[in-house]
Structure 1
């Protein structure tokens, strides 16, 4: 069956962001590759060689959060915006609160965690890196 994994881009903050995400979700990185690991890396500016080419953090049993840094020397530009969110479905209200409170530190809360009109326990925010998150504990799993 097909599956979807979330892939994020950063401008030199991929490792910092993923260490932050790891501090909230736990787990161990599956892979961390640097730009210096790729063929032709010697042609990159020194300031870009330690950037992350690929990093991945398993989440739950079947999902993986992945990312890389852009290369400004290759003409890449990062535009932070509200075009996407990572939607996390928690196993309990307590876990939803822990994810929300951990990830929203230093960010911009759009909707605090509360019982939403559709019945779910829900909140949304942009984290301190500009990534949009929706935290959800579905009504059908509640007492």
Structure 2
């Protein structure tokens, strides 16, 4: 069981290029998944990055995705904090405390990839992405 806290970067159609650049900078292992791989048939989204993760030998973790055209993206405000883990009770507790006085932008609920996921702005205006993975058997 583990919980991870790391930056999550948002891009407009350049997530793959950016993450490949950061891979060259920091080394490590880069995984990239597209919207098409997760079943989105929309041709304009199919090859865009739904989620990518760079994990380095030094312990750095950086995640990123492309923001779909219908969602706002403001350069300078395109960084959120990603909190992910497989301890549901503790993770839901973090979520409940993060949304106190804040705004839920995506409700914490089961997603197409099988995890629970939600997004919010805390009361200080910081963006958070919370992902709860099923516990391993």
When the two structures are superposed, what TM-score results if normalisation uses the length of structure 2?
A: 0.50
Q: Counterpart in 2 of 1:33?
A: 33
Alpha-carbon distance change, 83 to 65 in structure 1, aligned in 2, over 3 angstroms: closer
| 1:19 and 2:47 matched | no
Q: Counterpart in 1 of 2:59?
A: 62
Alpha-carbon distance change, 82 to 10 in structure 1, aligned in 2, over 3 angstroms: closer
Higher helix share: 1
Task: Indicate if the aligned counterparts of 2:12 and 2:67 stay in contact, CA closer than 8 A.
Answer: yes
Alignment of 1:1-143 (within 5 A): 2-29=3-30, 31-39=31-39, 41-42=40-41, 44=42, 46-72=43-69, 75-81=70-76
Alpha-carbon distance change, 2 to 28 in structure 1, aligned in 2, over 3 angstroms: closer
Give secondary structure in 1 for the equivalent of 2:29.
coil
Long gaps (5+) in structure 2: 81-137
Higher strand share: 2
CA distance in 2, matches of 1:84, 1:76: 14
CA distance in 2, matches of 1:83, 1:51: 17
Higher Cα Rg: structure 1 or 2?
1
Residues paired across the two proteins, number: 80
Give secondary structure in 2 for the equivalent of 1:19.
helix
CA distance in 1, matches of 2:55, 2:62: 6
Q: Which has the higher contact order (CA 8 A, sep 6+)?
A: 2
Please identify, of 48-57 and 59-68, the stretch whose mean Cα deviation from structure 2 is larger: 59-68
Q: Post-superposition, which runs of at least 4 consecutive aligned residues in structure 1 deviate over 6 A?
A: none
Alpha-carbon distance change, 83 to 20 in structure 1, aligned in 2, over 3 angstroms: closer
Task: Indicate if the aligned counterparts of 2:8 and 2:79 stay in contact, CA closer than 8 A.
Answer: no
RMSD of aligned residue pairs (Cα, Å): 2.5
